[in-house]
């Protein structure tokens, strides 16, 4: 017998022993569930219950939406100039705030349109 055959036989024997040990271990039962938990699982959860006493949101006025759109447009017009300054090596102080405001206005307008 060659050395390789001994290694293959040893690996097979090890596999058989490992399988026997795994199957011989006692199966432990799960943690018992208290009786009240089974009934609680059948009750409706928060997603199943409609919200109570929440006022319906009304649509914003057209004037408010126009004002937001105008502000968004004005802020957006200043961004190319600010980017040119950044390319030139100067970071405008309020550029980050402008971009945050643009993001907030666009999210607000998008949300109002999707209602």
Task: Report if residue 95 sits inside a domain.
Answer: yes
Task: Report if residue 12 sits inside a domain.
Answer: no
Cα gap 37→92, rounded to integer Å: 59
Separation of CA 47 from chain center:
18
Task: Report if residue 1 sits inside a domain.
Answer: no
- Domain residues for the domain of 102 are 62-113
Give the total number of structural domains in the chain.
1
Q: Poorest-confidence range of 17-21, 31-35, 72-76, 84-88?
A: 31-35
Helical ranges in 1-115 per DSSP H: 3-24, 35-42, 62-87, 95-113
Task: Report if residue 108 sits inside a domain.
Answer: yes
pLDDT at 76 over 60: yes
Cα gap 30→78, rounded to integer Å: 64
Q: Provide the pLDDT for residue 114.
A: 79
- How large a percentage of the chain has pLDDT more than 90? 29
Task: Report if residue 27 sits inside a domain.
Answer: no
Task: Report if residue 81 sits inside a domain.
Answer: yes
- Token pair, residue 66, equals 């126009």
């Amino acid at each position: 017998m060659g050395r390789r055959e001994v290694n293959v036989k040893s690996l097979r024997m090890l596999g058989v022993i490992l399988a026997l040990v795994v199957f011989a271990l006692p199966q432990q039962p799960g943690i018992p569930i208290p009786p009240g938990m089974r009934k609680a699982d059948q009750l409706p959860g928060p997603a199943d219950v409609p919200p109570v006493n929440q006022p319906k949101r009304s649509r914003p006025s057209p004037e408010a939406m126009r004002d937001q759109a105008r502000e968004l447009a004005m802020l957006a017009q200043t961004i190319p100039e600010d980017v040119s300054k950044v390319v030139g090596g100067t970071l405008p102080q309020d550029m980050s705030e402008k971009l945050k405001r643009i993001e907030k206005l666009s999210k607000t307008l998008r949300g109002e349109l999707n209602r």
